[in-house]
Structures are given as C-alpha cells and as structure tokens.
C-alpha cells in the first residue's frame, strides 16, 4: 500500500477575535475545514464583535517568543500563517523565531487596519514588518491599501498597478506576493499572484454580501493549510480563493451579530 501524506500541522501566529469571525478563530476554522491540524500563537487579545474593535491588549514579545518555541520544539510544523502582530517588538520576536526554526512555508497576511478602521499594527511597526519579516515569507497577501503602505505609494486603482506593486514587494525579499483586488471599483474581485516565473491572474466574481468579516484571515490561512497538501503555490492559492468564495456565499446561513458578519467556514459540512 502506498504511503499517504500525514495530515499537515499548520501554525497561526495572530490576534484573537472575541467575536470569532477573524484572527486566530477564523484561522483555526479554515485549517480544520481544509484538512489540517491547527496550532496557535496569540500575539494580541482584541475586544471586538461584528460592529468593530473596542480594545487591544498585546502581550510582551518575550511571551510571544515563549509560545513560538514551545510549539516548534515539540510539533512538526508544515506551514505557518502570520496575521495581526500589533507592534514592532512582536514583529521582531516572530522574525527571530522564524530564523531559528526555519519552517518550510510562511504565509504573511499584512494585517494593518480592521474593517471597522481600527489600527491593528502600530505605525512604527510597518518598517519592521517590511524589512525583517517580509523577506522570510513564502507568500505575502496584502490588500491594496496595505501594499501601498508597505511601499510608501498610492493605492493601486487598476490591475496593471496591482502587478507593478506586487513585483515591487517581491523585490523586497518575499518569494511570492498575492495582490488582493477586493478594493478595486469593479464588478470582479481579481487577485494577482506574482511569482519568479511571472504573474498569474486569479479572477473571481464579487459576492454582493455584507458578511465579509475575516475574509483576509480566512484566505491566507486556507492557503497555508493547502500548500503542504499540494506542493504548488498557484494551485493552493486558486483552491483557497474558491473555498473563500463559497464561505462568503454561504454566510447568509449564519446569524451572528448586528454588523459585518463572518463567513461560513464549514459550509461544506453544515
């Protein structure tokens, strides 16, 4: 009998969302929905719901380092997803741990601002994320405002500019960049995957629903869960995008909160 691949172990390094729709909670749901075992390192506690973020508490960077070492010292980690990091000290703690433990796949979701316009990354931490963490990433997944902030540029308003900015971010050291086109003023929501081999357009219909809380977290964690199972970044990214579209479309079956609700991570099962 041919040997089967082990179930991948995927680590999320991110903040906790008390409303359950984004952050650590969304990541673990996506991992489970896509056949991966999830471990977690919590970089921030947020008091939030579907209406917005009320407060943020960040642990000391040394405690983040302790969590990271505890996980890597015991568990085979096949991929890492990084989300909210809160401040420069935590960015550096995560970068140092990745240098020590050298996981094979790192998906960096450059979380800076919540959907309710609450800052989730201190302004002085942007440079640390760009200079110290981005070069360690297999894939970086910025939305258009985040890409612009990292590059000190205007937000891309059309797809040619998206590709140029993705190439500029890859030149900073990331192996690949996924430029997410959700902020474009168009009927479509196209993403562009920028790899050394070139740029690949991943088209997709824009789903006209309000339940989009945690979409960025869910997409990046889905990619992290799928990379070890496909060994092909383009295939993993395309499948993750299809999964997210289905989760958004099925979000109408949930009744969670009175604001921007979450996507339905387990739409294929219930």
**Which pLDDT tens digit goes with each residue over 252-267?**
999 999 999 999 999 9
Q: Which residues are catalytic?
A: 180, 212, 214-217
pLDDT attached to residue 116: 57
19-59 confidence digits (pLDDT tens): 999 999 999 999 999 999 999 999 999 999 999 999 999 99
Which residue ranges make up each domain of the chain? 10-253
pLDDT of residue 156 exceeding 80, the answer is yes
Confidence of residue 1 (pLDDT cuts 50, 70, 90): very low
pLDDT attached to residue 2: 47
10-253 maps to which CATH number?
3.40.1190.20
Distance CA 3, CA 245 (A): 33
Tell me what the mean pLDDT of segment 123-136 comes to: 91
Distance CA 188, CA 207 (A): 9
Distance CA 240, CA 77 (A): 20
Average pLDDT, the chain: 92
187-229 confidence digits (pLDDT tens): 677 899 999 999 999 987 777 788 999 999 999 999 999 999 9
Alpha carbon separation from 82 to 3, 91, 100, 141, 153 (Å, rounded) = 31, 10, 16, 10, 23
pLDDT attached to residue 181: 85
Least confident of 34-38, 76-80, 228-232: 228-232
Sorted by sequence, the CB contacts under 8 Å of residue 64 that are 6+ apart come out as 13, 41, 43, 90, 93, 94
pLDDT attached to residue 117: 58
Distance CA 40, CA 68 (A): 9
């Amino acid at each position: 009998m041919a040997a089967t691949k082990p179930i991948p172990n995927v680590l999320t390094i991110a903040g906790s969302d008390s409303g359950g729709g984004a952050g650590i909670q969304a990541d673990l749901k996506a991992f489970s929905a896509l056949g991966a075992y999830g471990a977690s390192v919590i970089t921030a506690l947020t008091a939030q719901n579907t209406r917005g973020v009320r407060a943020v508490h960040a642990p000391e960077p040394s405690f983040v380092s302790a969590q990271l070492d505890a996980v890597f010292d015991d568990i085979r980690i096949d991929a890492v997803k990084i989300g909210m990091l809160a401040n420069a000290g935590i960015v550096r703690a995560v970068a140092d741990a990745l240098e020590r433990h050298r996981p094979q796949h790192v998906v960096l979701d450059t979380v800076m601002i919540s959907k309710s316009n609450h800052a989730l990354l201190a302004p002085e931490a942007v440079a640390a994320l760009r200079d110290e963490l981005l070069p360690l990433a297999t894939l970086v997944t910025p939305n258009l405002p985040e890409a612009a902030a990292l590059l000190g540029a205007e937000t891309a308003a059309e797809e040619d500019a998206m590709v140029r900015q993705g190439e500029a971010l890859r030149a900073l050291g990331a192996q690949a960049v996924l430029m997410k086109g959700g902020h474009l003023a168009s009927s479509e929501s196209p993403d562009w995957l920028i790899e050394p081999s070139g740029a690949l357009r991943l088209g997709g219909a824009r789903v006209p629903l309000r339940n989009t809380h945690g979409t960025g977290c869910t997409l990046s964690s889905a990619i992290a869960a799928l990379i070890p199972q496909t060994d092909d970044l383009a295939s993993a990214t395309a499948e993750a995008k299809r999964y997210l579209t289905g989760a958004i479309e099925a979000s109408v079956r949930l009744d969670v909160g009175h604001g921007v609700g979450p996507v339905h991570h387990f739409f294929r099962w219930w």
